Chain A
Amino acid sequence: MIKYTDEHEWIVVDGNIATVGITDYAQKALGDVVFVELPEVGASFASGDEVAVVESVKAASEVYAPLTGEITEVNSDLEGEPALVNSAPTDGGWFFKMTVADTGELDGMMDEAAYNDFVAGLE
């Protein structure tokens, strides 16, 4: 199952673990990513908290926790190769995994079709 937020994060849920990254639309809007500041494993966040920062050549942008939970893993590949966010945003360029404390938080999020419509409305 893949879900999307209106802040352009994608979330893939497997059991009680969610993998989170930013969408292709978001990486295109940001441009060349040169640095990603990832959260600490074990840190807890509430939905909407600032959890990571993605820096392009030009500017820094915050990434918000889409769900409430604890960080279980971060994508250390991004430290050496932040451009993975551009080249593989929904695959090798994932940001972090977190526990899903309340699956109900996923209910209000967009599915792929709804997100595509949302993005089309922005252009």
Chain B
Amino acid sequence: MSADQTLLKTPLYDLHVEHGGKMVPFAGYSMPVQYPLGIMKEHLHTRDAAGLFDVSHMGQAYIRSTDGSDPAAAIEKIMPGALQVLKPGKMRYTLLLNDEGGIEDDLMVTRTFEPEGTLYVVVNAAFKEKDYTILEEKLGDQIVLEPLEDRALIALQGPKAESVLAKLAPEVADLSFMEATMVTLEGVVCWVSRSGYTGEDGYEISVPSDEADAFAKRLLKDEDVELIGLGARDSLRLEAGLCLSGHDFDGSITPVGASVTFALGKKRREAGDFVGSERILSELSNGADNVRVGILPEGRAPAREGTVIADVDGNEIGKVTSGGFGPTLGAPVAMGYVPTAFAENGTEIYLLVRGKSLAAKVAGTPFVPQRYKRKTV
């Protein structure tokens, strides 16, 4: 049996193949890394118009409590975001923490309208089994986890995402960033959120698996929409300065080290009522030993994951955790960890790429401005 046969397929697998997707193994699935357009043009198309991404490999699940209480009360013990305060249709980016305050994964948590008192979570493909296990082991007597195996997830990202989707359902234009609602699209009831992971405005649409192919084809009829593969998804999220779980952080790194303290709710910090809070609160006050920073190499050579970061004297101070070429910037971009003393923007560092020491600077992220549609009040 070839390795291919053991890979799972998303409901859009045939669509990817029909459109010339170059299929590669990813997180146990056969996924398109790029289409004939190529990563560069797919990336730029998403920044200019609208890209359609199959993210059905990610894990979708409902979480309910076993006793009718708010399930957020239980999961806040292992996630540091303010989740109990979420009203129906509101969502948060949050983190799944281990007992030491390290980040096991990042995820989106949304309060649904119905079933009442339910949370809807989307977790990373590579870690869904691990995440579900952690939730079951830590909270199994308080929550019921119901993976939604019969749903596809489609992301439509880019400045034209709103106009494209609003042709099918005008009400999606009323959503602000990190809001979600139930919408009937082409006769199909979908769960639509204004969110994504490209730095662009856009939507994630949870569709019943058996309707996904027809729905994606309907979107692709729009001249503003192109299919986009994992390659451009990675370069887009890197330019947006967004972390890739398992690469830009792992269970050894806290939200402070990973520079994602925005995911710590203010009241949650004050209460310190989550696992690992002692270490996290201490790092908030005193700083973490090493922190994630953006890096702009000076030349054209990309510095990939694992590249050694050195100080001006040539001493190794850290490693690149994500790196590549940013098509919007037309230049290489990277993220990595350095001691706090080197974390200030503009700090000169060196990247050891294939034995050569290449000049670079610590830089703020995002590298490309995020264009989320927030409510203007």
Contacts and interface: CB of A to CB of B under 8 A. Distances in A.
Interface in A48-98: 53, 55-60, 79, 82
Contacts of A57: 39-40, 43, 231-232, 235, 324-325, 327
Contacts of B38: 31-32
B233 to A, nearest CB: 11
B181 to A, nearest CB: 35
A31 B39 contact: yes
Nearest to B325: A34
A40 to B, nearest CB: 11
B33 interface: yes
Interface string B35-74: 0001111010000000000000000000000000000000
Residue among B40, B304, B354 facing the most chain A CB atoms (10 A cut-off): B40
Nearest to A32: B40
A60 B332 CA distance: 13
A112 B230 CA distance: 34
A35 B300 contact: yes
Nearest to A59: B304
A58 B300 contact: no
Contacts of A34: 40, 300, 302, 325, 332
Contacts of B234: 58
A37 to B, nearest CB: 7
A58 B302 CA distance: 10
Contacts of A59: 304
A106 B40 CA distance: 36
Interface of A: 31-32, 34-35, 37, 53, 55-60, 79, 82
A74 to B, nearest CB: 15
A53 B234 CA distance: 22
A60 B39 contact: no
Contacts of A79: 300
A82 B302 CA distance: 13
Interface of B is mostly: mixed
A102 B22 CA distance: 40
A37 B354 contact: yes
B34 interface: yes
Given A57-B43, A57-B231, A35 B301 contact: yes
Contacts of A35: 300-302, 325, 332
B302 A60 contact: yes
Contact of B304 (A37, A60, A82): A60
Contacts of B354: 37, 53
A32 B300 contact: no
Interface in B102-127: none
Contacts of B232: 57
Contact of A31 (B34, B301, B304): B34
Nearest to A58: B231
Nearest to B300: A35
A37 B304 CA distance: 14
A57 B325 CA distance: 5
A60 to B, nearest CB: 6
A38 to B, nearest CB: 11
Given A31-B231, A57-B325, 19 more contacts: A31-B34, A31-B38, A32-B40, A32-B41, A34-B302, A34-B332, A37-B301, A37-B354, A55-B301, A55-B302, A55-B325, A56-B39, A57-B40, A57-B232, A57-B327, A58-B33, A58-B234, A58-B324, A59-B304
